[in-house]
Amino acid sequence: MERENKKFNLKDFKGKNMHKKLCLCFSCASVFEEQHQCPECGWQIEPEQYERIYNYAKAAVYYGIYYRKAYESQLAKSKQINIHYALVDPSEVASFIGVCAVSGIIGQISYNLIQKAFHKIIKSMKGKEIEHDYDTKEINIYIENINCFCKNFEGIDPEIKNLIKDEMIGWAATELFMEELEKDPKIKGKLEESEKKSYKIIREIPRPEDFEKFWNSL
């Protein structure tokens, strides 16, 4: 199979390797320069908790929306999958919208609060990284597709489900393997062991209690 649009580094999904320019306040939905205390409302969060939620939401957007759309479009047009993708990773605003969606799906935050967070994020990002206006219809599609991702791609075409899982495992395993290889050259040739670990890492699901005080300042 061919592979298109190769421009993505899975290190972006690992907290310790991420280099975000912006940070999202999980209390008032302000967007600010990367730090773990909001200059607007004073909200603070442990870096590990922030990364766990942000990384999961970003992966949900990347695989649950971007990859799904690419493969579903290809299948609809060609009636078969003959091209694999390596898509550009999500923008900050797309990832932040993913955080909102995940807070509702896993954290059971009310839809009204999520909508307020969506609109504040989009307003804050205008003129920065926002690629277009996100209307209510598109936001609802985000929620629907991310919900599917959270449920392990329940209900989508089995071929597409397996392709997306392969993409997730392949990229994560390669990055994990290279890190482990640097620590211990003797593991050379054991990429399959990294594959087993990698899917668990990228599917690390935030806990409902992680969202306990989300959007409280809105």
Asked whether residue 185 carries a pLDDT value surpassing 70, the answer given is no
Q: What is the predicted pLDDT for the residue at 128?
A: 60
Write down the pTM of the prediction: 0.80
What pLDDT is recorded for position 5?
Answer: 47
Decide if 130 contacts 91 (C-beta within 8 A). Answer: yes
Please, are residues 91 and 131 in contact by the beta-carbon 8 Å criterion? yes
Rounded Cα gap, residues 32 and 217, in angstroms: 16
Distances (CA, A) of 44 to 14, 33, 190: 20, 14, 40
Whether 172 has a pLDDT exceeding 80, the answer reads: no
Residues 106, 57: Cα–Cα separation, whole Å? 11
pLDDT of residue 18: 41
What is the pLDDT, as a whole number, of residue 91?
A: 87
Angle ∠(175,177,178) on CA atoms, nearest 5: 65
pLDDT at 176 over 80: no
pLDDT at residue 69 tops 60? yes
**9-23, 36-50, 144-158, 165-179: least confident range:** 9-23
Integer Cα distance of 49 and 93 in angstroms:
19
Distance set, CA 86 to CA 49, 134, 157, 163, 175 (Å): 28, 24, 20, 12, 15
